[in-house]
Amino acid sequence: MQQQINNFLQSLKVRNMSPHTLRAYTKDLEAALSFFSKNNLTQIKDFNIRNIRSYLAAENSTQIKRNTMLRKISSLRSFAKFLETRGLIKLNPFKLFDAPKREKLLPKFLTEEEASNLMEARPSKLYAARNKAILELLYSSGLRRTELVNLNICDINFEQGYAKVLGKGSKERIVPITDIALDSIQNYLATRPQRLPTEPLFLSSYNRRISGEGIRKIINQSAINTKLTRHITPHSLRHSFATHLLNNGCDLKTLQEMLGHKSLSATQVYTHVSLDRLKKVYNHSHPKSKTGGQI
């Protein structure tokens, strides 16, 4: 089983699976293999519905979150499909398996005022221009952390105001950038001597491409500097970008394109968030509402 898991993970690399997804699949399958090995279930024939259920029951006993369990199931299901397509198993065990429904979690986002305050955070003087550019670009364009990390200087079109982004599944898309974000990027690049178009857009303190962890630390420190009490992540800025666009009249299809979502259903989660705004407008405007005017 170990060899086939290795083959499966290698096939994902060939398909240009995102690093984040690849890490998750690797972690999940290593955990499953550890369970199977401890129970002397190391052959492909042991990868059956009974043993899979035993493994998932053991995982569930640790009281992990439902969506984490669903991710583990997804990893195992993909591995089973890999084995089936190569004729290594006769029956895909997941054809007999009903997975629980995914827990619908509303994305956490900043208010427009909080986002504005975050953009004005006072970063350390040494990296002030870089950190300002990172914050502005994340909020300006709704990029994923990995997408931001992988940007090169040549991916930014300063004249037309957009970035060329390589998203999930190596799918390329064009995203607009605000003038403020463009100015911040130019101010940062002006601090870098002899820069080449093919160089990374953002560098670490070691003059190497900045890491996703580096981005996370910048966001955390900026939140502290602005006395933002709740926890935020780089993805919080992506959620804020999407929510604020919808609140200000952006249509769902355009937002889908900017976010790089494969399906519209992934974007529709933000309509639930925007319902809060609709309710406030309704309560204020409808003559029969509790807070509305009188006829």
pLDDT in tens, 238-263: 999 999 998 888 888 999 999 999 88
d(CA 188, CA 190) in angstroms, rounded, equals 5
Where does the pLDDT of residue 277 fall: very low under 50, low under 70, confident under 90, or very high at 90 and above? low
At 99 the pLDDT is 65
Q: Return the pLDDT at 84.
A: 92
pLDDT at 276: 61
pLDDT digits (tens, 9 = 90+) for 163-214: 999 988 788 999 999 999 999 999 999 999 888 999 999 999 999 999 999 9
How confident is the model at residue 105, as a pLDDT?
60
pLDDT, mean of residues 283-291: 67
246: closest CA among 266, 285, 272?
272
Note the pLDDT of residue 27.
93
Looking at the predicted structure, is the pLDDT value of residue 290 above 80? Answer: no
Question: Is 20 labeled as catalytic in the residue annotation?
Answer: no
- 135-164 pLDDT, tens digit each: 999 999 999 999 999 999 999 999 999 999
What is the average pLDDT score of the chain?
87
User: pLDDT for 1-55, tens place per residue?
Assistant: 899 999 999 998 887 777 778 889 999 999 999 999 999 988 999 999 899 999 9
pLDDT of res. 102: 61
What residue ranges do the domains of the chain occupy? 2-96, 112-282
Active site residue 127: no
Band the pLDDT of 295: cuts 50, 70, 90. very low
What pLDDT shows up at residue 104? 60
Q: What is the pLDDT of residue 289?
A: 64
Name the band, by pLDDT with cuts 50, 70 and 90, for residue 281: low
- How much of the chain exceeds pLDDT 90, in percent? 52
- Told to judge if 272 belongs to the known catalytic residues of this protein, a careful annotator would answer no
| Catalytic-labelled residue, pool 71, 130, 238, 244 | 238
Output the pLDDT for position 271: 75
pLDDT of residue 17: 76
- Whole-angstrom Cα distance, residue 209 to residue 193? 16
Question: What tokens appear for 274 in the block?
Answer: 């925007």
* Annotation says 231 is catalytic: no
pLDDT mean over 213-221: 92
pLDDT of residue 54: 93
Superfamily of segment(s) 112-282:
Intergrase catalytic core (1.10.443.10)
For the question of residue 168 being annotated catalytic, the response is yes
Classified by CATH at the fold level, domain 2-96 comes out as: DNA polymerase; domain 1 (1.10.150)
267 pLDDT more than 50: yes
> Pick the catalytic residue: 168, 195, 209, 216?
168
| Predicted pLDDT of residue 293 | 45
